[in-house]
Amino acid sequence: MNLKGRHLIDPGDFSLSELDSVFSLAEKMIENGEEFSQICKGKILATLFYEPSTRTRLSFEAAMLRMGGKVLGFSDANVSSAAKGESMADTIRVISSYADIAVIRHPKEGAPRLASKYSDIPVINGGDGGHQHPTQTLTDLLTIKMLKGSISGNTVAFCGDLKFGRTVHSLIKTLSRYSDNKFILVSPNELRLPDHIKHVLQNEAHAEILETEDLEAIINNIDILYMTRIQKERFFNEADYVRLKDSYILNRSKLRDSKKDMLVMHPLPRVNEISYDVDDDERAAYFKQARFGVYARMALMASQLGVNINA
């Protein structure tokens, strides 16, 4: 499947067969990383992070470095020319002269898509506001494939901030494209999944959905539990955040009767929504998830750059 030169702004930009080709390459990289250690020699990744990030930025940097490439960029908009008023269009035009591929994280929804319209190099959306986070979705899907064996046929519960959680928005829409997945949405009423996404799930994907505020009532009947933090930075009113931030806290006792092969996933960072006593439970998958994220991004960038993976 030829992804050379393609942008990834929304997971829907790739067909399921194209996504599966990325996962197949990622699995080969997991099995034998040394074989791919120089495939991006001479290539440069630009990381344009207008919003704070640890895992996503470092994961991309690690991915390029593991393939023999190099990295340039910024991790704070205040140290970029954006602080002087430079437009996104001009920034990406210039960066296209410096690098071979770029990843952009931005607080404004749609900023990476705008950049892609003016870019001569592949652009990857590293997260735009509360909208999309497609490479986290690739990470999540690879994790499910590696640990559950199949991306299809699972009952998946999403818990926490489903309103602002871009990781949830990207993942649930993509999972609905795979067959026989069912969804349980666990959140306070104020943080429910947006109606426009539920419309896609129900009317386009014809997915089965259950909404509830009670995590403990459903935890024993699911295959995957996707926990999210209540995101302080998405609230306009701090009082609302304080009121909702402790809505769901997963601890080991709540897992007592859940399926032994259930996965507990989390895009990280966590605050207090998963207790530390869950970390050594066999169902905890979130640190494995972070590791798989490097390989998902390696496979994605190698595919977009069209490098010789047999080199």
Return the active site residues.
Answer: 55-56, 84, 105, 133
Q: Which residues on adjacent β-strands are paired with residue 158?
A: 185, 226
Distance CA 180, CA 176 (A): 8
Distance CA 115, CA 84 (A): 18
Helix 134-148 / helix 286-305 crossing angle, nearest 10 deg: 120
Q: Tell me, what amino acid is at 81?
A: S
231, 257 in Cβ contact below 8 A? Answer: no
For CA atoms 152, 157, 162, 166, give the dihedral sign. negative
Of 263, 155, 204, nearest to 12 by C-alpha is 204
112, 58 in Cβ contact below 8 A? Answer: no
284, 262 in Cβ contact below 8 A? Answer: no
